[in-house]
Chain A
Amino acid sequence: MSTATVGKRSFGAVVWDYLTTVDHKKIAILYLVAGGFFFLLGGLEAMLIRLQLMAPDSELIGAQFYNELFTMHGTTMIFLAAMPLLFALMNAIMPLQIGARDVAFPFINALGFWLFLFGGLLLNCSWFLGGAPDAGWTAYAPLSVISPGHGVDFYALGLQISGFGTLMGGINFIVTIITMRAPGMTYMRMPLFTWSTFVASILILFAFPALTVGLFLLTFDRLFGANFFVPDMGGNEIIWEHLFWIFGHPEVYILILPAFGVFSEVFSTFSKKRLFGYSSMVFATVLIAFLGFMVWAHHMFTVGMGPIANSIFAIATMAIAVPTGIKIFNWLLTMWGGSIRMTTAMLYAVSFIPTFTLGGITGVMLASAAADYQYHDSYFVVAHFHYVIVGGVVFGILGGLTYWWPLMFGKMLNEKLGKWTFWLFFTGFHLTFFIQHFLGLMGMPRRYWKFLEGQGLETGNLISTVGAFLMAIATFILLYNVIITTVKGKKSPADPWDGRTLEWSLPNPTPFYNFKQLPLVRGLDPLWVEKTQGNGKMIPAEPLDDIHMPNNSFLPFTISLGLFIAAFGFMYRVDAGFPAYVAIGVGLAITLGSMLIRSVKDDLGYHIHKEDLEKEGAGE
């Protein structure tokens, strides 16, 4: 069942295990592999963009292909790389941090992954079927409605399918955290990463439906001749912008809050101190999430909403700087007086502070509605959101992966290679994006296929491209590190970083049932409490007993596959005729049939017996 109990197995058996798994730790690895793949793909697209912009008036890449590249870069990085990679961490760590044996709905957890993956694959199939979406990741109507070919259809349907997956994942995490905390794990003892997972999941629950609605309307406009966003026919193109950003702005916090959570853990562990101002950190997280729903129109200051709406949204946006500032100072004070170890994970966290402060600063500048008339849709904005998303989210993911790698894979990533990755990535990142603030103010709008000579933009763009290459090299070193560790790495100790939270109390490798006996939590940082006040081991909260486990299932895969097939049918309904209707029929039959089987067939799971648990090194 898990790597703990089974030694060498055939390749086919491993594949089948992963195709059918409902174990949150394995689903985390699936998210990591798929998210990592899309991250590389999005990175490749970014490199092509930077190559095109290396010199003025460049003809390296055609205009249409360039538009497809930046559209897919944005869409891939947000939906198919950043979110799944965070989901990988959430899945791998959150249940362990609250002392749970799995998530609340293991089957839905698997379904969420497969929906995301098939949605992502559908989106990327567009490259081979007449061109990728080309209307920007924001897909503003009416450009997205009139865009020729099937590119934007792939966008609408691909994101719709993967969005279902995300929504399910979010609901699952919420239920898990509410119902499955170990005895003594009160809300105000939950680690910050769990808190941020909880809050981000609530954001998903409320934000994604807006995207779902928007995408449905877009799909109907494009595939079935509706006119929701077509002004000539009485539609209104601005509605799309509102729907998109009502989802899109909370999405930013869905990404950044878990990264904040990662950093809170890393700062605390590597400073050997409890998190400074824990309750205000929790409060700030919730407040950011709450305010995050009231600021979407700051993406639309130049749309013409009028000065009243612009002012209200400007001030609401500025307000978010306050809880964010609270967090920054709390992190600084967590380190103050501590005993700081500069491991690779800590390097990411430490460098995140100035980087994210810069991103926050430009955020406040952008919030100033009148000034935004200059910044909006220029490279200033490009610089700002890369500072936040790369400097915040990607640093968080890289730091979090380095930190939790021993827990996920039982081996530690090479620290020396990790530091090489960090320094190259950090330098490359600032080289690429800092100059872009100025490029924007010097008059370079974003999404420009080429910039012409005589505008003083040559040097800045060249520097930016050089920086991008450094980031690419850093990524290759990271990849090499992962491979060399997997092949040659030695088994790591169970608690390599002198951890403080519950997940580090588990043996290496983590048993597939996680906790033999649910632990009793006696305070914030439960393991640290036991290390300082007990014997360094968690006290069991229950006697050893049978453990109820869910069965593996292939149905999540088939439910998702069916939607994938049906999506092609819907798209090619007009051009292909009968075969397309067959695809719709077959696809929906697979999906609905799988759902029917799931509903009708009782699947009660199985029990691991007490005796087996006792045999298995009861020493812990």
Chain B
Amino acid sequence: MKGWMGRFRALFLLSSLALVLSGCGKPYLSALQPKGEGADMIYDLMMLSVIIMAFVFLVVMIIYTIVIVRFRQKKGQEDFVPKQVEGNHLLETVWTVIPIILLLILAVPTVQYTFALADTTPETEDGEPVEDALWIDVTGNQYWWHFDYRDLEIQTSQDLYIPTDRRVYIKLSSNDVIHSFWVPSISGKMDTNPGKNENEMFIHAYEEGVFWGHCAEFCGPSHSLMDFRVVAVSPGEFDEWVADMQAVDPEAVPENPVAAEGKDLFQENSCLACHAIGSSPAAVGPNVTSFGDRSKIAGILPYDKEHLVSWILDPEQHKPGNLMTGKYPMPSKEDAEKIAEYLMSLQPSDIGPDDAEDGEYIQPKPKEETEAEGDEAEEDTNEE
């Protein structure tokens, strides 16, 4: 897929430019430190255009400097009248033709990559269609993200778990206004449009890690707070996570008595009307099945009980214009703490954001074995 440009990569890396750029920003957020297929391809294209354009800029600046230094009016020569030149056909042809050639050099890979990035037909390297490709339906909402793992009966919000060994195909749509799905370190962005204008793209993380995602299309007061995370884990860990998420019992009563009380309060305060637990089609508000494993609260706040309680009591303070404010009977602070206790106990899987960052790579199990063993799959990872 990388084509002829990949070979020039070493050359780019040699240039100090690339070195300087790769120092820019944070590795989990910067488009200049690509960690995925799309971001990688775009980075190559970016560098190609930067090199071509740096050449153009250099030429302009050399002529410019000569002009400014040499042709200033000198003292005592105020009456000097320069020759009135009409033009020069040769020069004019040169600076028309050379830019055209330079643009063609950029245009070819641009078209090639534009088509490559738009390819959402799952295929193996031999061109065979992939039957069990992982498709995720991504829905943008003011101001949170919903992820529905097609055919797997798994729904999550805010944290998107993906395996690192393959492309993950996503379909993008929106429930209200236009948003844009952007994880700079993994891939470029794509808009989520309401209505029929659905989009598709693929994301493919090369490395494990927790990558930051932003909403990139202005969508209202809390546009800048519509963050999410992509948790890229090794394929073995991902399989385990899938198995765990599929085995969730939404009715399970937590062992901790405070949390158990919180569960009742969660129902009494009609939280459940919007926030589903388990794979429920209702997605009015973020799905909280694996809330205990979230990397952030509401995508932005540090993950701890204090912030969760503060969020429950006053979401408006944290995300202006959100659709939760005023939609539920306000619990007392004690009740909010109990609800928080319950939510934070929702950890159906042992796989969490930490597993993406521990550097441990677990191979997927061979196919037949996984299907046969089912739920037992979790054992092998924990004991290592």
- A: which residues have CB within 8 A of B? 62-64, 67, 134-136, 140, 142-143, 146, 231-232, 235-238, 271-274, 276-280, 302-304, 306-307, 310-311, 314-315, 318-319, 321-322, 325-326, 328-330, 332-333, 335-342, 350, 353-354, 357-358, 361, 364-365, 367-374, 376-378, 438, 441-443, 445-452, 454-457, 532
Contact = CB atoms under 8 A, between A and B. Distances in A.
Contacts of A341: 73
B188 A370 contact: yes
Given A368-B49, A373-B42, 7 more contacts: A277-B92, A304-B193, A318-B106, A358-B57, A368-B106, A441-B21, A450-B225
Interface string B69-102: 0011100010011111111100110011001100
9 A-B pairs with the lowest CB-CB distances in the bound complex, closest first: A373-B188, A231-B195, A442-B25, A304-B199, A448-B224, A370-B113, A443-B29, A63-B221, A277-B87
Contacts of B117: 307, 370, 373
B212 A231 contact: no
7 contacts: A271-B71, A272-B81, A304-B197, A321-B103, A368-B110, A370-B188, A373-B42
A238 B178 CA distance: 10
Contact of A311 (B84, B99, B114, B216): B114
A449 B29 CA distance: 18
Contacts of B41: 370
B178 A237 contact: yes
A336 B214 contact: no
Interface stretch (B30-38, B155-163, B231-239): B30-38
Interface string B188-200: 1111011111110
Contacts of A441: 21, 24-25, 30-32, 184
B10 interface: no
B71 A142 contact: no
Interface residues of B, number: 93
B118 A236 contact: no
A449 B224 contact: yes
A308 to B, nearest CB: 8
Interface in B211-231: 212, 214-225, 227
A342 B216 CA distance: 43
B252 interface: no
Nearest to A440: B31
Interface of B: 21, 24-26, 29-32, 38-39, 41-42, 45-46, 49-50, 53, 56-57, 60-61, 63-64, 66-68, 71-73, 77, 80-88, 91-92, 95-96, 99-100, 103, 106-107, 110-111, 113-118, 172, 176-178, 180, 182, 184-185, 187-191, 193-199, 212, 214-225, 227, 300, 320-321
B188 to A, nearest CB: 2
Given A143-B220, A371-B49, A441-B24, A325 B320 contact: no
B219 A143 contact: yes
Contacts of B29: 442-443, 455-456
A303 B21 CA distance: 28
A274 B87 CA distance: 10
Contact of B216 (A274, A377, A438): A377
Contacts of A62: 320
Contact of A273 (B85, B107, B118, B198): B85
A441 B47 CA distance: 12
Contacts of B118: 306-307, 310
B334 to A, nearest CB: 28
A557 B300 CA distance: 52
Contact of B223 (A342, A378, A442, A448): A448
Given A318-B106, A328-B60, A374-B39, A307 B188 contact: no
A337 B87 contact: no
